[in-house]
Structure 1
Amino acid sequence: MTTKVKSYKMLIGGEWREGLHSFEVSNPQNGEVLATVPSATEEDMIEAIETADRTFRMRDPIPTHERIHILNRVSEFMERDHEAFAATIAREGSKTITEARSEVSRAIQTIRISAEEARRLKGETINFDQNPGSEKRVGYYQRFPVGVVGAITPFNDPLNLVAHKIGPAIAAGNAIVVKPASATPLSALKLAESFVEAGLPGGYLSVVTGAGKEVGDPLVTHPAVKMVSFTGGSDAGEAITRKAGTKKISMELGSNSPVIVLNDADLSKAVHACCSGAFSAAGQNCIGVQRIFVGRELYASFLEGLVEAAEALKVGDKMDERTDIGPMINEKEAVRVSEWVEEALAKGAQIETGGVRDGAYYSPTILSHVPSEAKVMTEEIFGPVVIVNPVADLEEAIDQSNAVNYGLHAGIFTNDINQAFKAIRKMDVGGIMINDSSDYRIDEMPFGGTKGSGIGREGVRFSIESMTEQKVVCFHLDD
């Protein structure tokens, strides 16, 4: 069935706008053109930013109860349009329809949590009389919105990661300008429609579509943008930090997450979790399992089980509910993954299963005995490839896990609580999952990493904290 090509508009300052030029959004599965979307200019982005700034400075702040009401209404509209959102995610991106439905449910929860956290945005009193000479002073601190937030989002979670920017920004009372990934802008525009329908005043939200080279720099460098919230690759993140100057920055820059499977682990549980964690969303997942270090006694059994589980996965049509893995976001990325695998094999790695490319599809691939200098060991492959290497003990596994410039999530499978706590203490990551793969997250928890994996933490409450400034108030009382 051919999908009708729809012409979308972008949202600038509360108004839906066409652009002078447009670009096509295609289904990576078959190249079918799904929609045309405005290709914004630098002037469009500047207008969106300056409209947001004027709105924030000149309009009375949105009362907390109204923010809560708007966010709750958005979640209701998303629930109403659940299947339409899921179909949009699946068609424009890499996820299967089943994975897309799960993302919609998570995004609804993200918006609902944002509404709840808006109610809990509070300060604290300060005991100024702890300092000699300040006995007649009383006061508190209060959180205030930063102003305009600039948000840049990736293709792999085109709805929920946008919700993680917009929900907290509105909950905190900010205005926000979003630049979604050009490969998957339709989900972001559909979410913006829900905010408009829910009654968010014009100017508080803009979704500007187009090429990063045209609209990215002004969003990062404009002095009216007081905070940049970015999710994406490390190279782009480093470039943003150089350009942004002295403003608040929150970044989630990915990882090549390790999972440790000790000899006493529950084999079946570890295999199942690692297979799902490595290959869901065609491996295009910032906390997906990429490096597995297994105790020597369990290694052969684990590897055999993981290969069997991977070969049982169904690769095919994203819209078929029986499909486990769809295509990568485009053929170029699949070619890159193939090249990385070939490089590892040339350095001495062994391929246990997979390694087959068909257009944008890349089969679930397991590599063993991968040397430390191979690119798949040191960098984020962002594809359906996982490494399984044997280790002598927990110490070696931790050393191998930490030997990269990433530290987002990790996992460890063991029935020994002492070993678990040793890993907790020594693994240099932002989150560690015990008897689970690295690919576990709920949208309320603090989410972020160490080293090259980013700056700060997301998760609704923690995003709100970063999107606000603390202001101290102190009264000097008379006798």
Structure 2
Amino acid sequence: MFLAGEWVERDKYLEVYNPQDNSLVASVSAANEKDVLHAIEEAIEGAEVAANMSVHERISILDSAANWIKNNKEKYATTIALEGSKTIKEARKEVSRCIETLRISAEEARRINGETISFDQMPGSENRLGYYYRFPIGIIAAITPFNDPLNLVAHKVGPAIASGNAIIVKPASVTPLSALLLAEAFEKAGLPSKVLSVISGNTRDIGDSLITHPAIRMISFTGGLATGESIMKKAGLKKTSMELGANSPVIVLEDANIDEAVKSIVSGAFWAAGQNCLSVQRIYIQEEIYQDFTEKFVNRAKQYRVGDKFSEETDMGPMISEKEAQRIESWVNEALENGANLLCGGVRKGAFYYPTVLDNVPLDCKLVNEEVFGPVVTLQSVSNLDIAIKKSNDVNFGLQAGIFTNNIENALKAVQKLNVGGIMINDSSDYRIDAMPFGGIKGSGIGREGVKFAIQEMTEPKVVCFKVSN
């Protein structure tokens, strides 16, 4: 692991398996509590070093790390595909996005600005003038998931370095290799030691020490709702940024381009085997076009090619583990036992779960109310937009949503009424660029990622006021 700028080994190891065939990919050192405490102690000094780095030094390091990854792109993509669920084509896209995330971080490093303050707006303050500027928060603990093992780490490390912070990353225990390769890129880029640690290990062994330590001033977590709530209870008086998943709806109205909607939503539902916080889960279709849309959607879903992650012909690989595929299987079976109709899929082969489409799913089933995080979507006919909006909002998540319509008034109504952090017009919920603010409401979390907005979370304003004589 990468402990305060040094590569170290330990006697205990985590074994990393390829979920496609359960073959051993690598063994990585498993951190213990002493390692966490050491990383934090070193990061205290690292935070001072980071805060004192000039802006041009931060820019140079971020650009150099991006260049290193670009020059080794296939190595990074292969690692993502080996340890996780993504096909090699999906992995290459993630590497490209990681490079973009670091480039944006370099650009935003020069734009961490403050403002002048008109103190003389207050009677009696005519002889005062000043401003505020933003300063780094200190040490950030980042806990990242398996589904985007490189770019989601970059979304925490890039803004942290751009804003002059030290950061300790605890990647998902099933996909630590990509995060370690990101650390390698920063080492090659000349990042001062002690600014970054990437410590691999089981959350039960090291999580609480990382979360509760008083020197940690911010926790940036991407993962499940239950874990996020647990972290919030343990963390104490710290800043937190939480992206906790979703149950994303997409609305398709009668005036939509059905073919474009089908193409976009199929991709949005089954990209990365549906293991994506933005993945389409619920589709509400206006009743006038329900049959036409359903036939086209099911036909396209059946054409989705499932198989070897390293084949250029494959559209979808396995889920992250056979256990997760079994969970999805049980959720689908629950819906079918309660009257849902299976339109396609519903097949599990080891860790592979085939693209699955259902309709007539009872509203109290898990597939409707919870985050499925797998390649399963539900279809429901609705008579009008108002009902679609009500149903879309009727869950404890609010990350992103999509609507397909050619009526600007309908689009604007959805913008106003859908309770989410982002709305995609004539696109699926599964759309994001790395520069936009990203996050949700309700059970989808608090705070925003996206480089510029993460930097705001990772810095604090300091007010400076001069009292001058007449």
Normalization by structure 1: what TM-score? 0.97
User: Which of the numbers 133, 140, 152 marks the counterpart of 1:142?
Assistant: 133
User: Which of the numbers 110, 113, 117 marks the counterpart of 1:119?
Assistant: 110
Letter in 2 for 1:110: T
Change (3 A) 1:196 1:263: same
In 1, Cα distance between equivalents of 2:78 and 2:170: 21
Is residue 2:199 matched to residue 1:216? no
Is residue 2:425 matched to residue 1:434? yes
Change (3 A) 1:206 1:396: same
In 2, Cα distance between equivalents of 1:354 and 1:314: 12
User: Which of the numbers 24, 28, 51 marks the counterpart of 2:19?
Assistant: 28
Counterpart for residue 94 of structure 2? 103
Report SS of the residue matched to 1:348. coil
Size of the aligned set, in residue pairs, is 470
User: Which of the numbers 329, 342, 352 marks the counterpart of 2:343?
Assistant: 352
Counterpart for residue 236 of structure 1? 227
Counterparts of 1:310-325 in structure 2, within 5 Å, are 310-325=301-316
Counterpart for residue 404 of structure 1? 395
Change (3 A) 1:327 1:60: closer
Counterpart for residue 4 of structure 1? none
In 2, Cα distance between equivalents of 1:176 and 1:76: 21
Counterpart for residue 374 of structure 1? 365
CA contact (8 A) 2:51 2:165 kept: no
Counterpart for residue 46 of structure 1? 37
Deviation at 1:59, TM superposition (A): 7.3
In 2, Cα distance between equivalents of 1:453 and 1:58: 34
Counterpart for residue 66 of structure 1? 57
Deviation at 1:49, TM superposition (A): 1.1
CA contact (8 A) 2:50 2:166 kept: no
Report SS of the residue matched to 1:290. strand
Counterpart for residue 6 of structure 1? none
Q: Deviations over 1:76-98 (max 9, x none)?
A: 00100011100000010000000
Counterpart for residue 283 of structure 1? 274
Deviation at 1:290, TM superposition (A): 0.2
Counterparts of 1:408-423 in structure 2, within 5 Å, are 408-423=399-414
Change (3 A) 1:319 1:63: same
User: Which of the numbers 176, 180, 187 marks the counterpart of 2:171?
Assistant: 180
Counterpart for residue 7 of structure 1? none
Report SS of the residue matched to 1:210. coil
Report SS of the residue matched to 1:20. coil
Change (3 A) 1:241 1:294: same
Counterpart for residue 323 of structure 2? 332
In 1, Cα distance between equivalents of 2:49 and 2:181: 28
Letter in 2 for 1:16: W
Is residue 2:283 matched to residue 1:292? yes
Question: Structure 1: which 5+ runs fail to align?
Answer: 1-9
In 1, Cα distance between equivalents of 2:41 and 2:340: 53
Report SS of the residue matched to 2:52. coil
User: Which of the numbers 251, 260, 265 marks the counterpart of 2:242?
Assistant: 251
Is residue 2:444 matched to residue 1:448? no
User: Which of the numbers 435, 450, 453 marks the counterpart of 1:459?
Assistant: 450
In 1, Cα distance between equivalents of 2:45 and 2:271: 42
After TM superposition, what 4+ stretches of structure 1 lie above 4 angstroms from structure 2? none
Deviation at 1:57, TM superposition (A): 3.6
In 1, Cα distance between equivalents of 2:50 and 2:168: 17
In 1, Cα distance between equivalents of 2:184 and 2:209: 24
Counterpart for residue 145 of structure 2? 154
RMSD: 0.8
Q: Deviations over 1:216-239 (max 9, x none)?
A: 111111000000000000000000
Change (3 A) 1:370 1:76: same
CA contact (8 A) 2:51 2:136 kept: no
Deviation at 1:58, TM superposition (A): 6.6
Letter in 1 for 2:46: T
Is residue 2:2 matched to residue 1:11? yes
In 1, Cα distance between equivalents of 2:396 and 2:101: 29
In 2, Cα distance between equivalents of 1:267 and 1:298: 8
Question: Structure 2: which 5+ runs fail to align?
Answer: none
In 2, Cα distance between equivalents of 1:109 and 1:78: 11
In 1, Cα distance between equivalents of 2:139 and 2:64: 23
In 1, Cα distance between equivalents of 2:353 and 2:205: 31
Normalization by structure 2: what TM-score? 0.99
Counterpart for residue 193 of structure 1? 184
Deviation at 1:54, TM superposition (A): 2.3
Report SS of the residue matched to 1:404. coil
